[in-house]
Structure 1
Amino acid sequence: MTNEKQQIYQDFITAAAGGLEDYPQLMYMGVETCPYKQTIKDYPNYLSIKPDGKNLVSVPKADATFSPYPQIGQVPEIDEQGLKFLDQYITEACICVSSFVEEQIKTKWLGRNALKNDEFWSTSKILPIVNLVSRLNINYPNINLDNCYIRGTNQQGVENNYPFSDLVKDVVSYEESIGTSNSLGVMFKQFYTQGEITDWVKSITGNYDLMFWGGYGEKPFIEQPELFDNTTQQVMLTSTAPNHRGDNKISAYDLTRMMSLVGWHQHLPETSKLPGVQWHNLESIVRALGTDPARYIDLAIAKLGLQEVIDYPVIISKLGNGATNVRNRTEAVYVALVQLVIPNPLKLEQPAKLISLSMAIKGAKRLEPRDLDQEVVELDASMAAEITEILRRAVIGELI
């Protein structure tokens, strides 16, 4: 670790102090602290930005190691040597770096155990939501999920209906305006069986060894939900109330791929897009993912002194964390898509730079003797420091 990186880690150790076993201080900073929270509503528009080659260029510039974005069901080539700079406590990682070539998106995939299937905690909650959008849109191309509600009887026996977009936001934000993230996360699984959702994820990412059988430790907020279109006054989807028990063993690659499919939807060729999905039905998901409590990218931007020099920021993400008795350690996961435009204020004739990457980073820490609170603090600081290093390299074009 370089002296500068060590200092950044020490700064984050100080900031992470007070973190507890289930509540890492930096991971749960909350969107209220985000300097860009007022622009979350604009994220879908910002994601439509692409370089013109004159006033805005991609960084890095794609070289021969970049390939077209993979087709649905195709696993890209992943450079497993590409993330050697990451700390030893990062156990699994996958980063997809994008670069536009003649208005076409090209990508390079970097990994550390990127295809290893394991538990990724709450980050996998994005999968059932995207699955639901894709399947609905295939059957009902004109559906607008902003006009849809999920209704049914909750665990308290109260029957009610809730806007789809509010439920997605509650899964991500942990605000518990409607229910807990865990109970809502598994509720979105209730529309399909274990096998149906698992097979769908496999068909999208091409990782045929994954398992996506389990829930999130709580009963579904609504055991047998219905999805109701308020415009047509029709029930669009009903649940057979399947059980979701077992393991959720997916990979960093799966999560990186899914986040990139959401964020870059507007730029992908049809054969690479989420099947059937209309962009307007991803917009509310993008905004919801903007409310993730984990603000590691905000911290990285501040640490690198970039707050005043970035335009059109997009930070969509999903956190996950927990102490595992199976692996006897504390774990943290951060899945994100980041897009920044960096003008060249001192060189007005130089084009601005577009940086856009998708990532899934998992870290683990075990102290002897065990001290779960201290493990959380050290791992929280490590995650923040490594994500800062990833962003630093991305900004100067050295991530690849």
Structure 2
Amino acid sequence: MRRVHVSDFARYLRTETVGGIILLCATAVALLLANSPARGVYQAVRDFHIWELSVGDWAKDGLLAVFFFVAGLELKRELVVGELSKFKAAILPVIGAIGGMVVPIGIALAVGWGAPGIEQAWAIPAATDIAFALGVLSITASGLPSSARVFLLSLAVVDDLGAILIIAVLFTAKFNLLAAAAAIVLCALYAYLQHRRIRSPWLYVPIALGTWFAVHESGVHATVAGVALGLLTRVRRDPYERKSPAVRLEHRLQPWSAGLAVPVFALFAAGVPVSPSALGQMADDRVAVAVIAGLLIGKLLGIFGAAFAAVRFKVAVLPNDLGWRDMAAVSMLGGVGFTVSLLIADLALDADAAQRVKAAVLIASAAASLLAAAMLVRRSRAHRAS
């Protein structure tokens, strides 16, 4: 029997289909635990504090920063040497992300106008979950061109950054200017070391941890540190290098991101009650209904409409190997809210209202995943047949 080495397992985890399956399994386990007799134990573990943060907060603020760092590395690589290196290609997902935030917010406000809590909850459908969306795409769209994945990754990163900016402006109880300044200085030091071609992890690891801590203490969501450092990492390979720093780091960290960071986050974030009584309460809550409408309808209309308008008026260009039906399927996938949507629900609403709205986010995300999966499978078959 062939012996399986750690490197083999890491290579296995690097395949996005495997990462997506692990993520979906973690979500299913969380829902089962939260709606079973083990609910008390599950909540006790999630709420157990280590230093100043609960286990759930460590997963949300700490482990998820690793995923955002890997996403930032990949986005930087695409912007500098990949498919987004030309302005009109790079601007398309940015415009799509803006449309995918503005339209869902508008629909949520229209549906929930006058309902108690909508003035805090309007931003919940603005976010697209990178990890879940890419997981669904990897499982169902193997026949689609790689440009579909690049578009979705870029759109979701911009989308989540916009949502995190909303959190920073509207839901940050206090802003620590000194900590923010320290984060900026550490980011500048990281960029300088990259410029000087310094490679020692004994310098980079403390800087990364210090940046994460400074961003967290500033009041801004700590995952911003991951994106910032990812975007500051050098992606062009020097003549004496086999691989650039961005490629090396992505190769080393992606298995940890896919196999540990994101699944553990999902395990503690997706555990919300979905009993018949909870669903009945959700259906009677106009804010919850507004969130569902924003994610399911607003994301599709906003992303696809903004992208179509940008191409129509020659502000951006559509990738040569993607058609508008492909874009519609990817736009539908934008309705997978999850991570940041759940975060905003926790920050914006009291505990009872947050539970109902989080159930709405999960239902809308599941529906968007299933609809997008059906569309993506059909488009994959069409591309394979052509």
**TM class by shorter-chain length?**
0.3 to 0.5
Bigger RCO of structures 1 and 2 (CA < 8 A, at least 6 apart)? 2
Q: Decide which structure has greater helix share.
A: 2
Q: Decide which structure has greater strand share.
A: 1
* TM-score computed with the length of structure 1 as normaliser: 0.32
* TM-score computed with the length of structure 2 as normaliser: 0.33
